[in-house]
Amino acid sequence: MIRHMGGKPKTAKRALIVVRLSRVTEATTSPERQLQACRELCAQRGYEVIGVAEDLDVSAGATTPFDRPQLGKWLRERHHEVDVLVFYRMDRLVRRLLDLAEMIRWAQDHRIVLVSATESFLDLSQPFGDIIALLVAKVAEMELEAISARNHAAFKHNFAAGKWRGGVPPWGYKPERVDGWRLVQDPEQVEVIHEVVKRVLAGEPLRAIAHDLTRRGVLTPRDRFAQLRGREVRGYEWHSAPLKRALTSRTLLGQVVGREPVLDEDGNPVRNSRGHRVLGPERVLTHDSGRPLVRAEPILTRTMFDRVARELKSRENRKEPTVRAKGLLTGVLVCGVCGRGAYRLKGGQGRKPRYRCASAQYAATCENRSIPLELAEQTLEDRLLSVLGDMERMRRVWFEGSDHSDELAEVDEALADLTDLVGTGAYRRGTPQRARLDERIAALAARREELAAMPQEPAQWRYEGTGQNFGDWWATAPLEERNVWLRENVSMRWRAHSEGVRTVVDDIEIAMKAPDLDGGVLLEPLTELARRKAAGAWSAAGLGDLPEALAAVWMRQGPAQPSVVEEEPERPRRKGAAKRRR
């Protein structure tokens, strides 16, 4: 747009209007009011409005202008189209002093003017304009601190009353207006949770579960919340790490989980380089009595929640594939010359599938030749079935018992924290705070006596038969499931050389690893060793590794004939093995 003043053409400055709101329910500076005031200013000054960056439900205390969905895209990718940034008030742009200083430097570097529609004293084109802006930003930052303190107090009160304060709800819940906004179970998500829990306890890898949920189009908690609010469903994928965090979060028990700011030695919040508060690890919020705050109906029982947590804990050292295995021996078979892993090579015309040393993909290759896939897999299968084929697979199940040790530990921890406050600061004898502290300590002490008097039968894992031996499982299990088992329990090496056009396999070495005695499924002879290990057998004598050592021998030779098994004639293959799935 061209304006003529005094006969000389003048190009109108291009203005981007910035609108921000922390919460859509905020009534004071609504988006419509902000937009109207900014448009009026642009009309008065002759600015050409080229766009509006509207960020709703976005906190200026938690984000910088460059991090916001709408404004950030303009600043990063389209700043060359803008001459002026127009905002309703300075706190609509930033609330942190450091954020404003960074914004002023960026604007000066890109020759962009910052203009407030309602604060005439903020004119960064004038001398000392940037200093005045920084002073105003400091006031806004102090105001934000006061707002944060009030919000934190309201947050704790509303949580104690079971109210929902906004944001994406925990997995399995949805907000519903019942005497104010509260969280209720979402039947669709609860069904998914129970399915996932069942599959986890059955020993299925989290990666496989996450892949299946994504393939089936099951909505993640974020997408489900967007769907419930009538917003765009973005189709986020499921991943094993967030799935594990969700399955071990106490929100599944209906409890409230929060993160408190880290304080310095003077009791002030610690801030990072951008001025944002540093938050500590997640923890369960509690009543004054020390009991966890519960704001929704639990999705899982405490027993089931503990079972899932223990099962996932036992998997931490598993060597599960990071991608779906394409070969049974991927991650199991390694080169006997250079030690690199083997990869599955498809057979071309006149060639059968085989495993090849990974060095073949590099300039410097080792001398080892490939090994036929059928030979490698059949050799390993024959060895496993001859030694382990008749052993029954035992599944680990959780015995509830009557164990109150978890709650007792929580009470002891709360008592320790509270007693440390006695006699300090506001908790000196005779103060109201000390009286309330004494009441809380007395209530916790009474609860501790009550728990200590209850009969204790420790909760523990036990193993029950599946009715399926190893050979039958091997014949029917999917390739990925067998591959995961092999990665955990077997290592295999080979050497081969060429004679003309033929490849001759010189040696195949199979070694059985010590099995995980905390695993979800064990072979029957190993369950007694697992029980003894859990009970601390031999640990007092410094032989804590003995159960794993014995288990490794049994996996290598079989418990029935520990010394002569490798000298006996090879057993005939089981009929079911021919039906196995590749």
State yes or no: pLDDT of 161 exceeds 60. no
pLDDT of residue 191: 94
For 53, phi and psi rounded to 5 degrees? Answer: -100, 100
The CA-based dihedral angle spanning residues 240, 292, 437, 159, taken in that order and rounded to the nearest 10 degrees:
90
For 571, phi and psi rounded to 5 degrees? Answer: -70, 150
DSSP string, 527-551: HHHHHHHHTTTTTTTT-TTHHHHHH
pLDDT of residue 580: 42
Asked if 96 and 275 count as a contact pair (C-beta separation under 8 A), the reply is yes
Residue 207's pLDDT band, with cuts at 50, 70 and 90, is confident
For residues 543 and 100, what is the distance between their CA atoms, to the nearest angstrom? 63
Mean pLDDT on 241-245: 91
Give the chain's length. Answer: 582
pLDDT of residue 1: 44
For residues 193 and 46, what is the distance between their CA atoms, to the nearest angstrom? 57
For residues 382 and 376, what is the distance between their CA atoms, to the nearest angstrom? 10
Q: What is the pTM of this model?
A: 0.44
Structure tokens that stand for 431 in this block:
């103060």
The per-residue pLDDT for range 482-508, each reduced to its tens digit, is 888 898 889 999 999 988 878 889 999
SS3 for 200?
helix
Query: Exposed, middle or buried by CB within 10 Å (0-12, 13-18, 19+), for 245?
Result: exposed
* Percent of the chain surpassing pLDDT 70: 74
For 198, phi and psi rounded to 5 degrees? Answer: -60, -40
Strand order in the sheet with 392-399: 460-469, 392-399, 521-523
SS3 breakdown of the chain: % helix, strand, coil, rounded to 5? 40, 20, 35
Mean pLDDT on 219-229: 91
Mean pLDDT on 320-338: 78
pLDDT of residue 579: 42
pLDDT of residue 121: 63
State yes or no: pLDDT of 120 exceeds 60. yes
- In 239-356, which residue ranges form alpha helices assigned H by DSSP? 240-247, 302-314
Hey, how many other C-beta atoms are within 10 angstroms of the C-beta on 317?
A: 8
Q: Which residues contact 334 (CB under 8 A, 6 or more apart)?
A: 340, 341, 342, 491, 492, 493
C-alpha 559 chain-centroid distance = 41
Structure tokens that stand for 256 in this block:
């409230």
Mean pLDDT on 295-324: 74
Structure tokens that stand for 373 in this block:
């896939």
pLDDT of residue 493: 95
pLDDT of residue 267: 67
The per-residue pLDDT for range 10-62, each reduced to its tens digit, is 678 999 999 988 765 444 447 888 898 899 999 998 999 999 999 887 777 67
The per-residue pLDDT for range 338-349, each reduced to its tens digit, is 999 998 888 767
Q: Which of 224-238, 245-259, 541-555 comes out lowest in average pLDDT?
A: 541-555
Asked if 412 and 420 count as a contact pair (C-beta separation under 8 A), the reply is no
For residues 87 and 19, what is the distance between their CA atoms, to the nearest angstrom? 7
The per-residue pLDDT for range 248-291, each reduced to its tens digit, is 998 898 887 777 777 777 666 777 765 566 777 777 777 665 66
Q: Which of 8-12, 34-38, 210-214, 448-452 comes out lowest in average pLDDT?
A: 8-12
CA-CA-CA-CA torsion sign (162, 163, 165, 170): positive
For residues 44 and 33, what is the distance between their CA atoms, to the nearest angstrom? 17
pLDDT of residue 179: 65
Most confident of the following: 115-119, 160-164, 355-359, 529-533: 355-359
The CA-based dihedral angle spanning residues 185, 407, 456, 520, taken in that order and rounded to the nearest 10 degrees:
60
- Considering the chain, what is the average pLDDT of its residues? 78
pLDDT of residue 140: 58
State yes or no: pLDDT of 473 exceeds 80. yes
- In 426-500, which residue ranges form alpha helices assigned H by DSSP? 432-453, 470-476, 479-489
Residue 325's pLDDT band, with cuts at 50, 70 and 90, is low
pLDDT of residue 193: 95
State yes or no: pLDDT of 514 exceeds 90. no
* Better-predicted residue by pLDDT, 563 or 552: 552
Mean pLDDT on 544-571: 59
Mean pLDDT on 406-430: 79
pLDDT of residue 399: 64
**Beta partners for 173?**
185
Most confident of the following: 46-55, 108-117, 118-127, 543-552: 46-55
The per-residue pLDDT for range 69-84, each reduced to its tens digit, is 899 899 988 989 999 9
Q: Which of 134-138, 204-208, 523-527, 568-572 comes out lowest in average pLDDT?
A: 568-572
Q: Which residues contact 424 (CB under 8 A, 6 or more apart)?
A: none
SS3 for 179?
coil
Report the candidate in 97, 66, 105, 83 with the shortest Cα–Cα distance to residue 17.
83
Structure tokens that stand for 477 in this block:
């299990």
For residues 302 and 453, what is the distance between their CA atoms, to the nearest angstrom? 21
Residue 76 DSSP one-character state? H
C-alpha 433 chain-centroid distance = 39
* Better-predicted residue by pLDDT, 424 or 439: 439
State yes or no: pLDDT of 553 exceeds 90. no
For 251, phi and psi rounded to 5 degrees? Answer: -65, -25
C-alpha 250 chain-centroid distance = 14
State yes or no: pLDDT of 293 exceeds 90. no
